[in-house]
A and B are shown apart, each in its own frame.
Chain A
Amino acid sequence: MIAITSIDGTIEGGLDERFGRAKKIILYDSEKQNINVIDNKLNMSASQGAGIQTAQNIIDAGVKVVISGHLGPNAFRVLNAAGIEAFAASNITVKEAIEAYRNGKLIKLTGSDVEGHW
């Protein structure tokens, strides 16, 4: 299963480049080809540790791959500890992001690409 951060919870809508404070998370099951949406509203207003909490939610959902814009060091550490791979995309819809991932066109993140903030 793949998790993609999303602005509006639809696959035609844009990918949310923020991870911890993304509005919605789309869970795409590549085998069943269906999607589920997690509302990330609670984390959007978390005063700190939003990335950590979002990462934990994704882990609890049983995801193996994450696609987002930028990952902070804290979120990356949590995903990494759980063995989840993270890929970066920008200026793209969720659907395009899934396509690009399948075609191996996304860059795998090997570390955080933004500084954490709280």
Chain B
Amino acid sequence: MKKINEIVIVSGKGGTGKTSLTAALASLFTGKVMVDCDVDAANLHLILNPEKVVRQSDFAGGKKADIDPELCTKCGICLDACRFEAISPDFVIDPFMCEGCGACFALCPHCAVNITEGTAGTWYVTDTGNNERFVYAEMHPGEDNSGKLVSAVRNEARIEAKSADIGLVIIDGPPGIGCPVISSVTGTKLVIVITEPTPAGVHDLERIVGLANHFKIKTAVVVNKFDINPGLLNKIKDYCSLNNLDFIGEIPFDSAVTEAQRAGKSIVDYKSECGASIAIKDIFKRIELIIGDM
């Protein structure tokens, strides 16, 4: 039985090429389970193109209140109790405003309020061909991604890895630095941060490295579109050496990356000798070395 090593690719700010890098790594690594934890904007399936869904499950979401007009006497106690301005003067609850706190439910003297649990989204375990597994989830609009959906998705991936005796799980992490990111990072063996040389990119790199350090997880850094701002690229490199981070590669500004996305392919499959592909293949080799040392 192989030990399962999970590696996660995160970015802080969205749109830095996280999913494009993950898709390329999916093509280069053999013997792995792929996971998309970016459930707000799940995109990896658009490249990995699963052949079939092996199993799937709805995912319970936040609780919402609603008022039964038959039982409601319009006494106004709930209006007074609701802190979220979710109840209209004619006693209808706006589901987008309702926090599901249950104050109206607990205080209604006529039992006219119901609390229901909706579905927040669905997760899928899929087969991408050659019996390789890919797990992803999609949220419904207006639902919040929380640690729980990320935990559920990672859990399914580990089940797949274990049953097929696969030692590597590669996770496309969510953007930001909030709860879903924390849930996608905890317990992994390597965090790969992909950033770009822009003020927002540098700022987010610092925040996400702080997070990885907190959990004492080995962190590697990739800079995408490295050639758009040499000054900030150097600043990122200095930051990495100062903080003992593994700088594992830089990807040039390359229009082939967008073309590959439009073709529904990973960059290394689309144009294996373009600048971005060469850089990513080099990054792949460095990740292999890091994993070899685990």
Contact = CB atoms under 8 A, between A and B. Distances in A.
Interface of A: 17-18, 21, 23, 44-48, 50, 69-70, 91, 114-115, 117-118
A46 B148 CA distance: 7
- Chain A interface mostly: loop
Interface string B209-226: 001001100000000000
B186 A70 contact: yes
Interface in B16-39: none
Given A114-B215, A117-B179, A18 B148 contact: no
A114 B187 CA distance: 10
B214 A21 contact: no
Contact of A21 (B144, B151, B211): B151
Nearest to B63: A47
B11 interface: no
Contact of B214 (A23, A44, A50, A115): A115
Interface of B: 3, 59-62, 144, 146-148, 151-152, 155, 179, 182-183, 186-187, 211, 214-215
B146 A17 contact: no
Given A44-B151, A45-B152, A115 B146 contact: no
A23 B288 CA distance: 31
Contacts of A117: 147, 179, 182-183
Given A115-B214, A117-B182, A21 B187 contact: no
B193 to A, nearest CB: 17
A93 to B, nearest CB: 12
B151 A118 contact: no
Contact of B146 (A69, A70, A118): A118
B146 A114 contact: no
Counting from the closest, the 3 A-B pairs by CB-CB distance are A117-B182, A117-B179, A21-B151
Given A44-B151, A47-B62, A18 B146 contact: no
A108 to B, nearest CB: 18
Given A21-B148, A69-B187, A117-B147, 16 more contacts: A17-B187, A18-B151, A18-B187, A21-B147, A23-B155, A45-B59, A45-B148, A46-B148, A50-B147, A70-B186, A70-B187, A115-B214, A115-B215, A118-B146, A118-B147, A118-B179
